[in-house]
Chain A
């Protein structure tokens, strides 16, 4: 409790003493301040001060001012502080003002000092100010040095002695006081920051805790029980006063607070302004629904336009439109043209804008640059040209000025022509298709996945001097037979290209065919039609007895002995040239086609019996080629005049000139090559029309051939190329055959507009053999 009062006492003494003694006195309260809590003497000293009543007087005065009981120490401290503040302002005035310091001034000053000391201890922000007022530099206070340990920490206090001037000089160096800060903090409660701990823990200490800056809050002075009792007797507000233990202050409740307490005690709502019995406002009941069910904004859809708005939109009302007066008389034909035009436009095609005339160029200028002017030669050439074939219908002319340009003579004529153009020339909108070319391409597998297939020339069999018309391979695949226009039939070893044997028959060989049955032995059939069409021969390298074929245009002869020594065993003489020859698979029957109209052209011959038959009594047109079906004994004959008659089926290839036919080894598919460059693939189960018609060759297709072992077929053409296709026929009848073009093989030379005349697949290898008009046979692997 002591410090404030002791200081007050000290200041009292100091007022009595002269000014020179001021500074040592200033030092004293500091020292006492520090020593008080532990020193009993100070207590007695304090009591002396109290007896002087000086302090009490002052408190009372302040209490009167503030309306607070001066006996209460908490209030006292606060008042002290406020008083100190106001004094401080006085002090400032005094400093700035006159030099002569009156007694009251000094009194104020001393008070100020004492208050400041209090401030110093209670509130840190005012610490420096107190030192200012005391004209002493007390560093330790501002740094919050603990007074309890203050003995060993010597406060640095400059002693200015009587040197007032020096003190004043020193004062100027001190920082100025922020009045605003002090006034702000005047409303603050001195807050103890010790938290929720029992205040009894601080009983033995001079302080009761720490403020926000960590400075000690010294225990305020407490009056003894007697004083308290007397005060309570005098104080009418004692009933509303409580004790703040943490801050060691008395707190007086306000009327409002007491009212709240009373209400709480009475069990009513503490807030005096709250009306418990207000009328209910019905927001959302079955009757009223002032709040929406959902918080979503109202949709635009729910917004219904007004009727007039609708009418405006529909164009029935035009706002702001002047009212039209109805005419008294009507023009009946007023809209006749428009109506008729409307009615016609729906029937008429879309109107097309007339094509624009080209913009005039330099040549059409009246004064063109000299390079545009025609020379004399050009002028003559232009004049000699036919008017229709002229590039332009005028000659550029040069005039020095526009004035000298004569009237254009042909103006009317040209305008008339233009009108004629517009009137006569039909114009139409060109429709461009949006189809992409790549989309139209069928998805085909990569040819590289379809190997093996013949892709490169491996061997050339040279020796024939005329064009090689026909080739045939023996069933084992070792030997190749070729017939040529030079009248020779040659036998080749396929793998080496060695010509093993030559038969010179001195006649054009149209076709050769090797008997397909390997069990029979090596049998070769060569048809040699002569120019006289009389002694065609059939040559067989096996021995057979001879029989006559009656009533047929064929005679079976034993060849003369000279030919027998060459390996010719039998000859069959036809009356007409033999164009085509086909062996049946078993090797006993073979069929021929002769250049003869009617049913006699196709003959079937049986080797073992030396007999010939005529299967077709009537045939329309001439037969070009004949093939045996591999499995059944059916023949499919194509007639070159588009009609094709057969025992079972007639195929309509849609081509004009059939050149060749081949039957797929499995028998259900047929390819037909034609002189009009088309290749037709027939699926016989599917249709009599081609399943696929391919036209890749630039010239007539001479020969088509299936591979017996691989899913391949090839075409030979007069354009000197062979085309190899992948033609996969699936066992599954639901799947269509897959046809993929694989390779174009070029190598044969074109002679007399004839290219490749025959092509044939090797029976066991994916090799292709081709015979050309250039007298070579080529092997492609």
Chain B
């Protein structure tokens, strides 16, 4: 260590027990950065194989030197600085890329080896990990806008289309009505909601009906569908949530409260609904079109992607005007998809029209990793869908290729 360099006492703490070191303060130069601190921790742990660590000061990632952090927060170098360290996330590595003929509008992974892809050619494809297309389901008349896998249920997945239907696929298929923008299934897998461009959200049961229910308001559609797909049973919605002024682009269940649903749409609002009673619980406005939204059961936050190239994090529990906890800006195009990490309270990924996927840690204002397509074919093409399933990050878009990235799961805390 340089003798004349300014030094500071730090205390290193870790939440992961396997990486815990003595919390005795130590002197380090103020010019040390993340790498130097990581080397120190590895040295203390006596690791043969270096494990990269990230360091958090007061809940925020340390970017740059300690001196710059102290200066930015106008802290004294006299005090002991407590640094929490966590194992760094490794950059996502691309595993596979499945090519489609047309644009991919939505992706969803039902398991680590089964991926459902909705495409603009109206075909729902099911891929397995061996890069084989297991199924090609051509039922929708028009572009499929959304797919959603269902865990552990006889209905395997749902798809929504511009032909105003949502179809539940499984052993027996059922279909729903509306120009469907988004479809999600509640965690217990008994009900699902659909978001529509007609500014409504509809609430459906997944229970397969014995016979087609009369859908009163749309006889034409029913007639048409019924004539073409004889085996498909038509269902009527249980309830309709009306309140959005513009089209609804995205909808999401609150994974903690099964009856609560979040939605966002063209009217710049993020709304919370109680589907059981059909009541609009809260409405938060942000002046920008909401293109996608996701709820994390770990951090209890709603992440939204916006047309102003930013992500916003909302705390639905707070009632005051400061519901927007954080605004993350780094994308250069519409943020078309957001997905929380399934096991982490901090990690989320976003897909954008600028063709990049960014992995964020909400303790840092800058993205951890930016993954851009490497193929010339995919380069700069819009990404439209993203899904994070366990260790896999699935993206699809204009280029028609479903790209699967692996994200190391060791990073997940708690």
Compute how far the CA of A113 lies from the CA of B120 in the bound complex, rounded to whole angstroms: 146
Contacts of B162 in A (CB 8 A): 500
Q: B404: shortest Cβ distance to chain A, in Å?
A: 22
Q: B290: shortest Cβ distance to chain A, in Å?
A: 11
Given contacts A458-B307, A781-B308, contact A477 B266 (CB under 8 A): yes
Residue A495 lies at the interface, judged by CB distance under 8 Å to chain B: yes
Residue B58 lies at the interface, judged by CB distance under 8 Å to chain A: no
**Is the Cβ of A495 less than 8 Å from the Cβ of B143?**
no
**Is the Cβ of A458 less than 8 Å from the Cβ of B334?**
yes
Contacts of A459 in B (CB 8 A): 333-334, 353
Compute how far the CA of A781 lies from the CA of B353 in the bound complex, rounded to whole angstroms: 13
Residue A452 lies at the interface, judged by CB distance under 8 Å to chain B: yes
Compute how far the CA of A459 lies from the CA of B103 in the bound complex, rounded to whole angstroms: 16
Contacts of A362 in B (CB 8 A): none
Given contacts A477-B246, A478-B197, A498-B103, contact A765 B353 (CB under 8 A): no
Contacts of B264 in A (CB 8 A): none
**Is the Cβ of A496 less than 8 Å from the Cβ of B266?**
no
Given contacts A477-B266, A495-B291, contact A500 B143 (CB under 8 A): yes
**Is the Cβ of A497 less than 8 Å from the Cβ of B307?**
no
- Residues of chain B from 64 to 123 with CB closer than 8 A to chain A in the complex: 103, 105, 120
Residue A476 lies at the interface, judged by CB distance under 8 Å to chain B: yes
Name B's interface SS. loop
Residue B247 lies at the interface, judged by CB distance under 8 Å to chain A: yes
Residue A166 lies at the interface, judged by CB distance under 8 Å to chain B: no
Q: A408: shortest Cβ distance to chain B, in Å?
A: 75
Residue A552 lies at the interface, judged by CB distance under 8 Å to chain B: no
Residue B23 lies at the interface, judged by CB distance under 8 Å to chain A: no
Residue B302 lies at the interface, judged by CB distance under 8 Å to chain A: no
- The residue of chain A having its C-beta at the shortest distance from the C-beta of B142 within the complex is A500
Residue A58 lies at the interface, judged by CB distance under 8 Å to chain B: no
Q: B383: shortest Cβ distance to chain A, in Å?
A: 10
Contacts of A495 in B (CB 8 A): 249, 289, 291, 307, 334
Residue A686 lies at the interface, judged by CB distance under 8 Å to chain B: no
**Is the Cβ of A496 less than 8 Å from the Cβ of B382?**
yes
**Is the Cβ of B266 less than 8 Å from the Cβ of A764?**
yes
Compute how far the CA of A458 lies from the CA of B354 in the bound complex, rounded to whole angstroms: 9
| The one of A500, A765, A781 that contacts B266, using a Cβ cutoff of 8 Å | A765
Contacts of A764 in B (CB 8 A): 246, 266-267
Compute how far the CA of A221 lies from the CA of B378 in the bound complex, rounded to whole angstroms: 139
Contacts of B247 in A (CB 8 A): 476-478
- The residue of chain A having its C-beta at the shortest distance from the C-beta of B120 within the complex is A498
Compute how far the CA of A349 lies from the CA of B329 in the bound complex, rounded to whole angstroms: 70
Compute how far the CA of A478 lies from the CA of B336 in the bound complex, rounded to whole angstroms: 15
Compute how far the CA of A500 lies from the CA of B246 in the bound complex, rounded to whole angstroms: 21
**Is the Cβ of B103 less than 8 Å from the Cβ of A458?**
no
**Is the Cβ of A458 less than 8 Å from the Cβ of B197?**
no
Residue B141 lies at the interface, judged by CB distance under 8 Å to chain A: no
Contact bitstring B328-342, A, C-beta under 8 A = 1, else 0: 000001101000000
- The residue of chain A having its C-beta at the shortest distance from the C-beta of B291 within the complex is A495
Contacts of B291 in A (CB 8 A): 495
Residue B213 lies at the interface, judged by CB distance under 8 Å to chain A: no
- The residue of chain A having its C-beta at the shortest distance from the C-beta of B102 within the complex is A498
Q: B329: shortest Cβ distance to chain A, in Å?
A: 13
Residue B256 lies at the interface, judged by CB distance under 8 Å to chain A: no
Compute how far the CA of A496 lies from the CA of B307 in the bound complex, rounded to whole angstroms: 11
Q: B386: shortest Cβ distance to chain A, in Å?
A: 14
Compute how far the CA of A458 lies from the CA of B103 in the bound complex, rounded to whole angstroms: 19
Compute how far the CA of A497 lies from the CA of B289 in the bound complex, rounded to whole angstroms: 16
Contacts of B178 in A (CB 8 A): none
- Residues of chain B from 362 to 413 with CB closer than 8 A to chain A in the complex: 382, 384, 398
Compute how far the CA of A666 lies from the CA of B269 in the bound complex, rounded to whole angstroms: 26
Contacts of B333 in A (CB 8 A): 458-459
Contacts of B382 in A (CB 8 A): 496-497
**Is the Cβ of A781 less than 8 Å from the Cβ of B246?**
no
Contact bitstring A488-518, B, C-beta under 8 A = 1, else 0: 0000000111101000000000000000000
Contact bitstring B284-302, A, C-beta under 8 A = 1, else 0: 0001010100000000000
Compute how far the CA of A477 lies from the CA of B353 in the bound complex, rounded to whole angstroms: 19
Compute how far the CA of A477 lies from the CA of B267 in the bound complex, rounded to whole angstroms: 11
Compute how far the CA of A539 lies from the CA of B11 in the bound complex, rounded to whole angstroms: 75
Contacts of B384 in A (CB 8 A): 496
Compute how far the CA of A477 lies from the CA of B289 in the bound complex, rounded to whole angstroms: 12
- The residue of chain B having its C-beta at the shortest distance from the C-beta of A767 within the complex is B307
Compute how far the CA of A136 lies from the CA of B198 in the bound complex, rounded to whole angstroms: 137
Contacts of B353 in A (CB 8 A): 458-459, 497
Compute how far the CA of A496 lies from the CA of B353 in the bound complex, rounded to whole angstroms: 8
Q: A453: shortest Cβ distance to chain B, in Å?
A: 12
Contact bitstring A425-452, B, C-beta under 8 A = 1, else 0: 0000000000000000000000000001
**Is the Cβ of B289 less than 8 Å from the Cβ of A765?**
yes
| The one of A452, A476, A781 that contacts B197, using a Cβ cutoff of 8 Å | A476
Contacts of A458 in B (CB 8 A): 307, 333-334, 353
- Residues of chain B from 13 to 53 with CB closer than 8 A to chain A in the complex: none
**Is the Cβ of A452 less than 8 Å from the Cβ of B287?**
yes
Contacts of A476 in B (CB 8 A): 197, 246-247
Q: A671: shortest Cβ distance to chain B, in Å?
A: 26
Contact bitstring B258-288, A, C-beta under 8 A = 1, else 0: 0000000011000000000000000000010
Contacts of A765 in B (CB 8 A): 266, 289, 307
**Is the Cβ of A781 less than 8 Å from the Cβ of B307?**
yes
Q: A430: shortest Cβ distance to chain B, in Å?
A: 53
- Residues of chain A from 766 to 781 with CB closer than 8 A to chain B in the complex: 781
Compute how far the CA of A495 lies from the CA of B267 in the bound complex, rounded to whole angstroms: 14
Compute how far the CA of A764 lies from the CA of B249 in the bound complex, rounded to whole angstroms: 15
- Residues of chain A from 470 to 484 with CB closer than 8 A to chain B in the complex: 476-478
Compute how far the CA of A459 lies from the CA of B162 in the bound complex, rounded to whole angstroms: 21
Compute how far the CA of A498 lies from the CA of B118 in the bound complex, rounded to whole angstroms: 15
- The residue of chain B having its C-beta at the shortest distance from the C-beta of A501 within the complex is B142
Compute how far the CA of A266 lies from the CA of B287 in the bound complex, rounded to whole angstroms: 114
Compute how far the CA of A459 lies from the CA of B352 in the bound complex, rounded to whole angstroms: 12
Compute how far the CA of A65 lies from the CA of B305 in the bound complex, rounded to whole angstroms: 131
- The residue of chain A having its C-beta at the shortest distance from the C-beta of B287 within the complex is A452
Compute how far the CA of A459 lies from the CA of B287 in the bound complex, rounded to whole angstroms: 19
Q: A640: shortest Cβ distance to chain B, in Å?
A: 39
Q: B128: shortest Cβ distance to chain A, in Å?
A: 27
Compute how far the CA of A438 lies from the CA of B73 in the bound complex, rounded to whole angstroms: 41
- The residue of chain B having its C-beta at the shortest distance from the C-beta of A781 within the complex is B307
Contact bitstring A755-767, B, C-beta under 8 A = 1, else 0: 0000000001100
Contacts of A500 in B (CB 8 A): 143, 162
Compute how far the CA of A498 lies from the CA of B336 in the bound complex, rounded to whole angstroms: 14
- The residue of chain A having its C-beta at the shortest distance from the C-beta of B336 within the complex is A496
Compute how far the CA of A496 lies from the CA of B181 in the bound complex, rounded to whole angstroms: 12
Compute how far the CA of A733 lies from the CA of B404 in the bound complex, rounded to whole angstroms: 60
Contacts of A496 in B (CB 8 A): 103, 105, 336, 382, 384, 398
- The residue of chain B having its C-beta at the shortest distance from the C-beta of A518 within the complex is B198
Compute how far the CA of A765 lies from the CA of B105 in the bound complex, rounded to whole angstroms: 23
Q: A654: shortest Cβ distance to chain B, in Å?
A: 38
Compute how far the CA of A496 lies from the CA of B289 in the bound complex, rounded to whole angstroms: 13
Compute how far the CA of A459 lies from the CA of B309 in the bound complex, rounded to whole angstroms: 12
Q: A761: shortest Cβ distance to chain B, in Å?
A: 15
Compute how far the CA of A496 lies from the CA of B120 in the bound complex, rounded to whole angstroms: 11
Q: A676: shortest Cβ distance to chain B, in Å?
A: 37
Can you list 21 pairs linking A and B with CB atoms under 8 Å apart?
A: A452-B287, A458-B307, A459-B333, A476-B247, A478-B247, A495-B249, A495-B291, A496-B105, A496-B336, A496-B382, A496-B384, A497-B353, A498-B103, A498-B120, A498-B143, A500-B143, A764-B266, A764-B267, A765-B266, A765-B307, A781-B307
Which B residues fall within an 8 A CB radius of A?
103, 105, 120, 143, 162, 197, 246-247, 249, 266-267, 287, 289, 291, 307-308, 333-334, 336, 353, 382, 384, 398
9 tightest CB-CB pairs across the interface, nearest first? Answer: A478-B197, A764-B246, A781-B307, A498-B120, A498-B103, A496-B384, A765-B289, A478-B247, A458-B334
**Additional A-B contacts beyond A459-B334, A495-B334 (7; CB < 8 A):** A452-B287, A459-B333, A495-B289, A497-B353, A498-B120, A500-B162, A781-B307
Which A residues fall within an 8 A CB radius of B?
452, 458-459, 476-478, 495-498, 500, 764-765, 781
